[in-house]
Amino acid sequence: MPAIANITVKKNDDTTDIVWTAVQPSSGDGTPATWKSQTVGTASAHQPEFRLSGRDANKGNSRLMRGTFRYPQIATNSTTGVTSVVGVANATVEFEFPKSMPTSDLNEAVSQCFNLTDAALIKDCFKQGYSAT
């Protein structure tokens, strides 16, 4: 299994890099590994977070990967100076595959699935809040 490491991704401008810091590796099946974008906010609750876990499913015949993404909206009260979370964008992705699937097929399925979610059209759909028409 892969070792946890920091992950660098592009911001919305497709130019600026953001580092998602590996803060907690998975301690075993069903327990998520955690990454945070620590360049945002001054408190842990203000920082975007991604968690990824894997476990057996379908009576042990398949693996289920589950990722959760949390991106808080923070604001500072101009009277008190206190910064707090005022909203949160959440996302969940689940990917289940049979343990009997050949590695070449699984590799292709994973690559195509996540390349689709990285496509400009799909990102635009999510940004607008509507599917393509």
Identify whether residues 71 and 123 lie together within a single domain: no
Identify whether residues 66 and 54 lie together within a single domain: yes
60-89 residue pLDDT tens:
999 999 999 999 999 999 999 999 999 999
Identify whether residues 29 and 64 lie together within a single domain: yes
- Displacement of CA 7 from its chain's centroid (Å): 11
Say how many domains are in the chain. 2
Residue 124: the pLDDT is: 94
Identify whether residues 74 and 105 lie together within a single domain: no
Mean pLDDT computed over every residue of the chain: 95
55 belongs to a structural domain: yes
Identify whether residues 59 and 93 lie together within a single domain: yes
Tell whether pTM > 0.85.
yes
Residue 45: the pLDDT is: 94
Identify whether residues 67 and 116 lie together within a single domain: no
Structural domain including 91 reads: 7-99
2 belongs to a structural domain: no
1 belongs to a structural domain: no
Q: DSSP assignment of the chain, as one string? A: -PPP--EEEE-TTSSSEEEEEEEE---STTPPEEEE-TTS-SSGGGS-EEEEEEEEETTTTEEEEEEEEEEEEEEE-TTT--EEEEEEEEEEEEEEEETTS-HHHHHHHHHHHHHHHTSHHHHHHHHHTS---
106 belongs to a structural domain: yes
